[in-house]
Structure formats: structure tokens, C-alpha cells
A and B are shown apart, each in its own frame.
Chain A
């Protein structure tokens, strides 16, 4: 099956700093989502971005499907941004509803 690798596994920032999280995947995809999991376990949808670039406030994401990677940018980070960020992909085998998740990036933003 498709492999998903996220980097870095852990990231510690000071409030106000910018960061870039990366997601590499091993096969072509037509479904890619970024999630933020809060300390209570809730997965919050950040972006649905199988290709292209999107922005939402301080967050933006870019997926280059031909090169099999996606980037999540967080600018002017806040303590509330802390948590685990997951990338999940569905490949183009006709079952793109089957999401395969990466192991996540644990982000800690210190005040």
C-alpha cells in the first residue's frame, strides 16, 4: 500500500515563529488532507488539498502531486497551535476514500 512519511516528527517553537511541516507519499494520490489533533483527540480539518495551494489565515498548504509531497506552513505560531499534525492520503486506485495516515508531527509552541 501507499506509504506516508511526515517530517519532522517533533518540533518545538517559540510563540511567533514560523514553521514548515512536510508530508511525502510513495504513490500518486487524488485525496490529501491535513489535520490538527488537539490534546483531547479531536481531529480538526485544516486542508483538503490533493493538489495546488490553499491558505486559511495563518496556515497555508501546498501539494505538488507530481513530486509526491505536501507542505503545511504555519506562520506567527501561537500556543494554541500545539498538538499533532497529520497528513493523510488516498491513492488513485479507485478507492480514494481510504485514507492512509502518516505518523504525525508533534508541535509544541512555547509562550
Chain B
């Protein structure tokens, strides 16, 4: 148990569906992240939120729409996905990224992931 939870754990959806992934962290952190892990590829950073503000969008297609209503919750809204979007989606959090001189605040903790299959 890392203190980061994700729901659902598994999701199967059609290309015309709209669904949302949810992430919640119970660590008192201020930054949250979405990563994508596809088969045979390294984990890729998708989005970063720092104090609820989006600070990074790693050229992610607009069919993925993140939302961060507060520092404890992060959503990933999915719309008209493609079969190649099937992957493990991982959420992470860290205390306070980029704070100079306090490197330990950058340690990231991951949730268990949502395994997404797009038919």
C-alpha cells in the first residue's frame, strides 16, 4: 500500500465511450502525475499537476483530458479512444516537486494502475 489509490483497476471500453479514471492520494502531497505504460515500451509521463495547476502536458492527444480539483484527487477523462490507447495507466504523487535544496520532496509514489482495454 503506497497511499495512492486508483479506480477502476480494470476498464474495457469501446471507441465511442466516455469514461474516467480516478486517482486519490492520502500522503498530503502537492503534485500528481499521470503515466502511461504500453506493452514493450517504457513508462511515459503524460501530465503533471503541481498545487492543482497543470504544469506539464507531454504532447498528449486531446482525447485524454485531465482534471485536478484539489491536491488529493486527479482524474483522467477518456473520450473516443483508439485501440492503441490500451495500456496500464498509472497515477503518482510527490510532496513538492522542483523545490530547490529539498530533493527528497521529489520522490514519487505510484498507485496500482488502471488496466485499460479499448475495443
Binding site for B on A (CB under 8 A): 4, 30-31, 33, 35, 40-45, 48, 50, 86, 88, 90, 94-104
Q: A41-B88, A97-B31, A98-B56 are known contacts. Are A86 and B97 too (CB-CB below 8 A)?
A: no
State the B residues within 8 Å of A (CB).
2, 31, 33, 37, 41-45, 48, 50, 56, 88, 90, 94, 97-98, 103-104, 106-110, 112-113, 115
**Distance between A29 CB and nearest chain B CB, rounded to angstroms:** 10
Contact B97 A97 (CB under 8 A): yes
Which residues of chain B are near A50, meaning CB under 8 Å?
103
Report Cα–Cα, A50/B94, bound state, in Å: 16
- Chain A residues near B115 (CB, 8 Å)? 41
Q: Which residues of A contact B104 (CB under 8 A)?
A: 48
Known contacts A35-B110, A43-B110; A30/B103 CB under 8 A: yes
> A99–B64 Cα gap in the complex (Å)?
20
Q: Which residues of B contact A96 (CB under 8 A)?
A: 97-98, 103, 106
How far apart are the CA atoms of A64 and B98 in the complex, in Å?
Answer: 22
Please tell me if the beta carbons of A97 and B113 are within 8 angstroms of each other in the complex: no
Cα–Cα, bound, A30→B109 (Å)? 17
Complex CA–CA separation, A36 to B114 (angstroms): 17
CB <8 Å contact, A99 and B2: no
Residues of B within 8 A of A86 (CB): 43
Chain B, Cβ-Cβ closest to A35 = B110
Q: Which chain B residues lie closer than 8 Å to A98 at the CB level? A: 45, 48, 56
Name A102's closest neighbour in chain B (CB-CB).
Answer: B42
